[in-house]
Structure 1
């Protein structure tokens, strides 16, 4: 049976779960993997990557390289002691947490090579292609006799 992708494999269990999110869980709970939706487009000079990060501010998003992987992280914090302007909160579902995703870009790519822009909840990165270096032909050592 085919179910739409918005439902997980255990739809009934998810449907019957009436508990509220735990503050200790990561942002968006078990559905966080679906939140950093990514589009990758090949361009003439490299790749253009667009990552959806709705609800995050620019200073809550980071990107860095480690061992050829581009690691994009987003972290959101809410002040638990925040007072409502008019009245008091009876229920709050927004909570603090973080999410992260990594993409292999190649060991030849440096931080200076990548250009990033964050606008309207979308992080766009311009990444050059990791050029394959030509393999040197075998050179032999001369052995004197």
Structure 2
């Protein structure tokens, strides 16, 4: 039963990362308009998409606690900024541009939902791939 649960969770996390990658790739060109010649949101979105695709592939092909940890980190690396840049007007930090966007468009909602569920699913996956703790023999 545990193996079946792990496969289902793995599939959901992989799907969440694929949705994350797809939305980021679709929005990348629009996000680059603010900094057409430099490091803009478009490049950050493309990097996020590539990382999500790599994490999804790694988890799909080599499920392990480490693969779930990487998948969760990638999902959180998109989910946290989506919330932060929605609710706070963060100024540019070094090469990272200011990307305040207080509106919840449909693609942003879909991506944030996938990222949040992917991160939560990755935590469940870590638990499912961990060895069960056995009670010590009485005595």
**Structure whose CA Rg is larger:** 1
Name whichever structure is richer in strand by fraction.
1
- RCO higher in 1 or 2 (8 Å CA, sep ≥ 6)? 2
Q: Shared topology, TM-score over 0.5?
A: no
Question: Normalized against structure 2, the TM-score is what?
Answer: 0.24
Name whichever structure is richer in helix by fraction.
2
